[in-house]
Structure 1
Amino acid sequence: MMPITEFLSCTNLIDDFECFSYQQKHHAKTYVTGLIASGNKTVEGISKRVLQSKSERALNKFLNQYDWDEDRLNRERLTALQQRNETRWSQDGVVIIDDSVTHRTGDQLPNAGWFYDHAENDTVWGQNLVFSQYADEKTTYPLGFRLYEKEAETKIDHAKALVDEGHEVGVPADTYLFDSWYCSQELVKHVESYDKDWISVLKSNRHVEYGGEMIRVDALGKRIDTTEREVDGETYNIWTKKLNVSKLGEKKVLISEKVTDDEDEENPVKYLVTNKIDAPTTQLIRTYSMRWRIETFFRDSKQDLGFEDCEVERDAGANRHWHLLMLAYSALRLGVADSALGTVLSQTTSLCNDLKHSLKEAVQNLLSWTLRNADQGVDGLMDELNGVFI
């Protein structure tokens, strides 16, 4: 419920964006500040809590009617991230492909439908978005997304388009990561066409050739003898070999099981597959573990940045909401990187510390605003803030 009296400083990067007109920059700063600091992240909630907002109507027009190019916004956002060492991408980074389901209730929302949500282990009504995410040891941020429609392109088609877009904007990362759902001949060949490597999980029922016969990979796991290895302080039982994998051809297969003394901790066996035939086993495990970065992006964006709060029923408005959310996420990364705490905070995989930094700034702005307007008295100040509590 706290009123937001000034734009957050992390939104200053919007001043340099050429995709927005002067007036549109004001609305963009309003929306991004609201996504970060407002408790209610709908258009109505943002317009009431960010005092610089012109009106709810103006903010709706910015999302649905004003002429600005969200693809150009995305390119300028990614360019801004390359201006800081803490957020600059490199060949050593990875690109992660995955999708997430938003939980919604409206039946008029763009491409809404029933989708299986792995996090809920159930089918839910919502929207399904396929994302690409950059990650390395020091940072992580989204590259792009596609809204999935069941009757149109497949999620594999969207994943391929995201690979194309990454190449077009110059993402230098050499390795792509995805889970078993995306481990298809079509996608891996597309990634390899750009001379890139990839690591994925195999489904337990996927067949591989071993001992002259095609068997399920989980059946293979019961035949082999593993070797104990330590990776980043964790112990794994590991087996690896170059095998012919069904529909993928000759690839490196790695079977690993994390060792734990905690009886309550699940300890599933993972079946990894990759075209990085000569890569060390420990490097493959360490690299694939970075796939978790996109899960933290989904979690943080849903909890803290309004990923699921868009109520816009027009395709263009919904698309712009998610583009502005990616801008908010990136602005937080850049804002903290510019701060005295940047060296430490920019290396965190969670957005929690970045948000704390910006919310602290919002409180400081409110106190400063109160002191500057102290001559109005309490009643006068409350009159100005009255709309926040309606």
Structure 2
Amino acid sequence: MLPITSFLSCTEPIDQFECFSKRQKHHAKTYVTGLVAASNKTVQGISNIVLPAKSERALNKFLTEYDWDEEQLNRERLALLQQADDTRWSSEGVVIIDDTFTHKTGKKIPHAGKYYDHGIHSYIWGQNIVYALYADEKTTYPLGFRLYKKNDKRRIELAIELVDELIEIGVPADTYLFDMFYSTEEFVTHLEGYGKEWVSAVKSDARVSYGGDRIRVDALAERIDTVPRTVNGDTYHIWTQKREVGRLGEVKLLITEKESSDEDEEPSVKYIVSNKIDAPASHLIELYAMRWRVETFFRDTKQDLGFGDCELRHAAGASRHWHLLMLAYSLLKFGAAHSALGTILGHASSLRNDVKRSFRESVQNLLSWALTSPDRSIDELMQQIDGMFI
């Protein structure tokens, strides 16, 4: 890995943040630059590869000991995103609630435990984090998170805390999206208390009132006739009615099966419910499809921003790692929104394109650094970066 000789330009907005002191801004820029451009995104890896870093010890203290407010950082980060048209939130956007795992090996990692990961159909040792994301047709970015701690608050309670926080901050999105785990009476009642609309999936064994009986929703799917409908170029076989489902009360129930051109592919049947009683089926399908944005966020941050790379055994330090990761993600989005090329590519590109642009910038900075050091010999220059290759 080539050394990183200066902070990435996307970190410049950190200078505006009031949550950090002058020295802390230096460390924040170091860490964000490392999360974006370093191959090893641990504290040690970042301090080794980012030459402006003070030291590994100083960076570690920034995460675990220095006095700065994570909540203030989060609010300033979100306020920054409102300064660009392409990242400004609106009532037309949605909030997505979901959780993910970080895979760990150490038994002393804070609040790590044994969990069943449905993505790999196996138990893993790791941490479980509940996230809230904002999404619309232009952008996606994280709003906040809560770390699940066994024998403490339930994940539903953490999701409710996030909703309260987003309302307090002023996130204007009218609609919330979530999967079947959060489709509970407790959670939807809380959302409706704020006048919010919601769209969710329910399990195949959810009970629905039909013909005077309470039957499983998958049993209902076998009794009804669907109608083909095209949504965004895909064909769905749809049935929808207003029904009482589980303990959710009277909701709009949508049973939909997506056609596939692959004969060997299993039919994709979804049972979707919503309090948007009068919404067309196509609108609910389009909304629920936006839930995939959270999966993209988890994938991109795990692959490209070191989501699970924090090895700190300090709970507060781990929390600050995730806050700084959200900052790194947002600064890449904000930087692209301010770039003419970024605006053109932003709608179609993943985070990886932004990371590639930042890596290109770090190489350019390295070459510039070398070329502007004519008084140094090659041996002296190599001594400066020798530690990067050990």
TM-score interval (norm. to shorter): over 0.9
Counterparts of 1:316 and 1:150 in 2: how far apart (Å)?
17
Q: Is contact 1:139–1:348 with CA below 8 Å preserved after alignment? A: no
Instruction: Report what 2:382 is aligned to.
Output: 382
Instruction: Report what 1:274 is aligned to.
Output: 274
Flag structure 2 segments of 5+ consecutive residues without an equivalent: none
Instruction: Report what 1:138 is aligned to.
Output: 138
Equivalent residue of 1:361, what SS?
A: helix
Q: Is contact 1:205–1:217 with CA below 8 Å preserved after alignment? A: yes
Q: Is contact 1:227–1:237 with CA below 8 Å preserved after alignment? A: yes
Root mean square deviation of aligned Cα: 0.9
TM-score by length of 2: 0.99
Counterparts of 1:337 and 1:363 in 2: how far apart (Å)?
22
Instruction: Report what 1:231 is aligned to.
Output: 231
Counterparts of 1:283 and 1:239 in 2: how far apart (Å)?
14
Amino acid at match of 2:244: N
Question: 1:294 deviation in Å?
Answer: 0.5
1:325 aligns with 2:325: yes
Amino acid at match of 2:251: K
1:1-390 superposed matches below 5 A = 1-348=1-348, 350-390=350-390
Counterparts of 1:340 and 1:2 in 2: how far apart (Å)?
28
Counterparts of 1:120 and 1:350 in 2: how far apart (Å)?
23
The alpha-carbon distance between structure 1 residues 349 and 182, as it changes in their structure 2 partners (threshold 3 A), is farther
Counterparts of 2:13 and 2:117 in 1: how far apart (Å)?
35
Between 1:108-117 and 1:139-148, the stretch displaced more is 108-117
- Residue by residue over 1:194-229, the C-alpha shift from the partner in whole angstroms, topping out at 9 and shown as x without a partner, is 100000001000000011100000000000000000
Question: 1:33 deviation in Å?
Answer: 0.2
Between 1:348-357 and 1:266-275, the stretch displaced more is 348-357
Amino acid at match of 2:388: V
The alpha-carbon distance between structure 1 residues 308 and 260, as it changes in their structure 2 partners (threshold 3 A), is same
Between 1:352-361 and 1:212-221, the stretch displaced more is 352-361
- Residue by residue over 1:214-248, the C-alpha shift from the partner in whole angstroms, topping out at 9 and shown as x without a partner, is 00000000000000000000000000000011111
Q: Is contact 1:178–1:291 with CA below 8 Å preserved after alignment? A: yes
- Residue by residue over 1:327-378, the C-alpha shift from the partner in whole angstroms, topping out at 9 and shown as x without a partner, is 0000100111111212223324621111111111111111111111143122
Counterparts of 1:139 and 1:348 in 2: how far apart (Å)?
10
Counterparts of 2:85 and 2:115 in 1: how far apart (Å)?
39
Equivalent residue of 1:247, what SS?
A: coil
Counterparts of 2:158 and 2:381 in 1: how far apart (Å)?
50
Q: Is contact 1:140–1:349 with CA below 8 Å preserved after alignment? A: no
Q: Is contact 1:336–1:357 with CA below 8 Å preserved after alignment? A: no
How many residue pairs were aligned? Answer: 390
Counterparts of 1:109 and 1:261 in 2: how far apart (Å)?
45
Report the identity percentage.
Answer: 63
Q: Is contact 1:297–1:350 with CA below 8 Å preserved after alignment? A: no
- Residue by residue over 1:267-321, the C-alpha shift from the partner in whole angstroms, topping out at 9 and shown as x without a partner, is 2200000000001111110011000000000000100101010011111101000
Counterparts of 1:112 and 1:213 in 2: how far apart (Å)?
44
Equivalent residue of 1:86, what SS?
A: coil
Q: Is contact 1:345–1:354 with CA below 8 Å preserved after alignment? A: no
Counterparts of 2:311 and 2:162 in 1: how far apart (Å)?
25
Amino acid at match of 2:54: K
**Once superposed, which parts of structure 1, at least 4 consecutive aligned residues long, lie more than 3 Å away?**
none
Counterparts of 2:345 and 2:62 in 1: how far apart (Å)?
32
Counterparts of 1:139 and 1:84 in 2: how far apart (Å)?
11
- Residue by residue over 1:32-55, the C-alpha shift from the partner in whole angstroms, topping out at 9 and shown as x without a partner, is 000000000000000000000000
- Residue by residue over 1:141-173, the C-alpha shift from the partner in whole angstroms, topping out at 9 and shown as x without a partner, is 000000001200000000000101110111000
Counterparts of 1:89 and 1:267 in 2: how far apart (Å)?
35
Counterparts of 1:140 and 1:313 in 2: how far apart (Å)?
30
Amino acid at match of 1:153: K
Counterparts of 2:40 and 2:72 in 1: how far apart (Å)?
28
Counterparts of 2:57 and 2:4 in 1: how far apart (Å)?
19
Equivalent residue of 1:123, what SS?
A: strand
Counterparts of 1:325 and 1:383 in 2: how far apart (Å)?
31
Counterparts of 2:261 and 2:92 in 1: how far apart (Å)?
33
Q: Is contact 1:293–1:349 with CA below 8 Å preserved after alignment? A: no
TM-score by length of 1: 0.99
Amino acid at match of 2:254: L
Equivalent residue of 2:310, what SS?
A: coil
